[in-house]
Structure 1
Amino acid sequence: MQTECFDSGSLESTEEFLSRAYTPMRIGGRPNNTRTRIVRTAAAGLTVDRLAFGYTMSYTANALGKVCLISVHSGTMVDTTDGRHDVYGPGETFLIAPPDRPYTGALHSARYTITMFDPAVLDTVAAAGAHSAPGPVRLTGQRARDADANRRLGSTVAFLRDQVLTGSTAPEPLVIASATQLLAAVALAALPSTARQEEGERVDSRDAHTDTLRRAQLFIEENAHRPIGLADIAAAAFVTPRAVQYAFSRHTDTSPLGYLRHVRLARAHQDLRTADPCTTSVTRIAARWGFAHVGRFAAAYRRLYGTTPATTLRAQD
């Protein structure tokens, strides 16, 4: 995990930093107060930045090549791309621009969080949907569908910022991969996109047989320690993501990703049974197997094993 801090009163230095950290851009601001503070934290393709501008600043920027979500905490941001004048205020989380489009705008004494990830993660997550459309997924709107969607998106950004990308040590790779996919899934649910087809569209399930299920389960069991998703499972089973979903729903009582979570929970259980409680912790073992939220891990563990992970670990003392 990398952390970088920027604090400057120079517009020239700020423009240089922003162009290096995001995309080439030109900025302008009022000269009486040009203080800028930015703290960047990045790990495995996920970037979360905390920014504070004590002045009014305008910007003209090239395409980012990333999904870029902004959560405004104070002040305002104005999107002026293509002649628009869309104002975003405190409590709003929005997409600043499509990854392949330049954008323009202004901010007014704003404090906000920027979260960025690879657009390919949208494709991975969308492939898990029961009505996913073929081809690359695009976010087609910048504002959340409604107030509830906006709150969920903002809360997810805050979770990544305050719980996942925090502390002095890098989170486990599975935690970062799971957290990024969570954010992509919430973004797809919150923002307009091309991810969903019409509900009435028929889906071919001819490959949802037991051979598909066995190949998928074997791949999951052999690769649970890696940051795999539905697309990887389907490719290993030589079928489409939709077909592997149907195979699980037809022949089991879980989904492919549900089975993956079950396998990882079982691996965590084995680690807890054999670990030295003097040298490791429940939190560390949970993170090793992709469980970022220790409370949810403990609840799932108790439902399956009838005891707490801490009790299992202490039993080895």
Structure 2
Amino acid sequence: MADPLIEAFGEDEPSTPATVRFEVTGHRPDDAVRDLGGVYGGERWVAQPTGEAFEYRYTALGDAEVTIRRSQLRGVLSGLVAAGGDYVVTWMSTGSAEVQRLGDRRELPLETPVLIPPDHPFSFRTEDYDQRLVHFDRAFLHRVAAARSDVGEHALRFDDHRVADQEGARRWHGAMTALARALRVGGPESVAWQAAKTAAAEVFLDLFPPQLDDLPVVLGQPRNARLRAAVEYIHDHASEPVTIADLSEVSGLSVRSVQESFRRVFDVSPLTYLRQVRLDRVRAELLDADPQAGAVGDVARRWGFAHLGRFSAAYAERFGEYPKQTLRR
């Protein structure tokens, strides 16, 4: 959920995150689509009244690393949001909202923090709502995660289906109260704000722990240090085009040595190892998807499988069942 408006705010020094402060408001559905869709890079957004006079208001305060936001709308708003951008946690104060990803439709509960799907496109529908949101810049959240656990340079993955329990929701709202107070009293350049946003990020990481792949134990051996770099690159970039030349560059091994190392340790080629990781990611998503959605093709393509027939055969060979059977579980 990229935020193109951030660049327009503040003339801070390079070492200080740019201040974010903006508001959009209006009474026309077309203006709501333009303004709110512009914030989130929306596609095919539609707004319409629900009988009463249509109106909307959206405010954001903070800096380029963390912003507190409030979105209010009297009417209906729906559309598509692309993957990527900030990590966004939202909670509804009033009204209704639902998010659909891979055919799985979820209604957002009131006063409960929910992670908006960060790495997959999704659709949404909201009606007559008052919604609070907090945006975390990805690089900032990664720095906080790296300071408290061994995540290294790995890309972070989160389970957006995870639901906070009562104690987790209490901690989240406490962190949000402290965040708002620091912003109100000291502003986004204050020490209090810097401390409060780090504390909020830590609560985020407690509620939505990063998911890291368990790498084979053999990679911990000193002789496999360079191979480990290549394997970590595959796990971090499995949804992207990956070549043996890429693995050679990140590991410091020659192309031939990369191939020989994978054969020696895993008895497969580097690209076969990549395919196995991708198949594992597809399976994890299918187990989490709505069986009625028919999402197999979309999931497979997102993980780099362009030919669905060959994908289905490879999937069955690895897991002993076809992807549609996994989806129906």
Q: Residues 19 and 188 (structure 1 numbering): CA distance in 2 closer, same or farther, change over 3 Å?
A: same
Match of 1:179 in 2: 196
Shift in Å, 1:8: 1.0
Contact 2:69 2:134 survives alignment (8 Å): yes
Gaps of 5+ in 2: 1-18, 222-329
Q: TM-score, normalised by structure 1?
A: 0.55
Question: Cα deviation per residue 1:183-231 (whole Å; 9 max; x = unaligned)?
Answer: 2211110114226979x9xx99xxxxxxxxxxxxxxxxxxxxxxxxxxx
Following superposition of structure 1 onto structure 2, how do residues 41-52 of structure 1 map, counting pairs within 5 Å? 41-52=61-72
Match of 1:163 in 2: 181
Match of 1:96 in 2: 116
Counterpart residue identity of residue 186, structure 1: V
Contact 2:116 2:160 survives alignment (8 Å): no
C-alpha separation between the residues in 2 aligned to 1:156 and 1:4?
22
Question: Cα deviation per residue 1:129-186 (whole Å; 9 max; x = unaligned)?
Answer: 35657612222234334221122223323332x312226x733354443333222211
Match of 1:112 in 2: 131
Match of 1:189 in 2: 206
Shift in Å, 1:66: 0.5
Comparing 67-76 with 188-197, greater Cα deviation is found at 188-197
Match of 2:163 in 1: 144
C-alpha separation between the residues in 1 aligned to 2:165 and 2:150?
21
Give the SS at the match of 1:90: coil
Match of 1:5 in 2: 23
Contact 1:93 1:143 survives alignment (8 Å): no
C-alpha separation between the residues in 2 aligned to 1:143 and 1:110?
22
Structure 1 outlier segments of 4+, above 4 Å: 130-134, 195-198
Contact 1:29 1:57 survives alignment (8 Å): yes
Following superposition of structure 1 onto structure 2, how do residues 72-83 of structure 1 map, counting pairs within 5 Å? 72-83=92-103
Following superposition of structure 1 onto structure 2, how do residues 226-241 of structure 1 map, counting pairs within 5 Å? none
Q: Residues 117 and 79 (structure 1 numbering): CA distance in 2 closer, same or farther, change over 3 Å?
A: same
Give the alignment partner of residue 141 of structure 2, picking from 122, 136, 140.
Answer: 122
Q: TM-score, normalised by structure 2?
A: 0.53
Contact 2:88 2:134 survives alignment (8 Å): yes
The sequence identity of aligned pairs, in percent, is 20
Counterpart residue identity of residue 38, structure 2: R
Match of 1:40 in 2: 60
Contact 1:145 1:192 survives alignment (8 Å): no
Gaps of 5+ in 1: 205-317
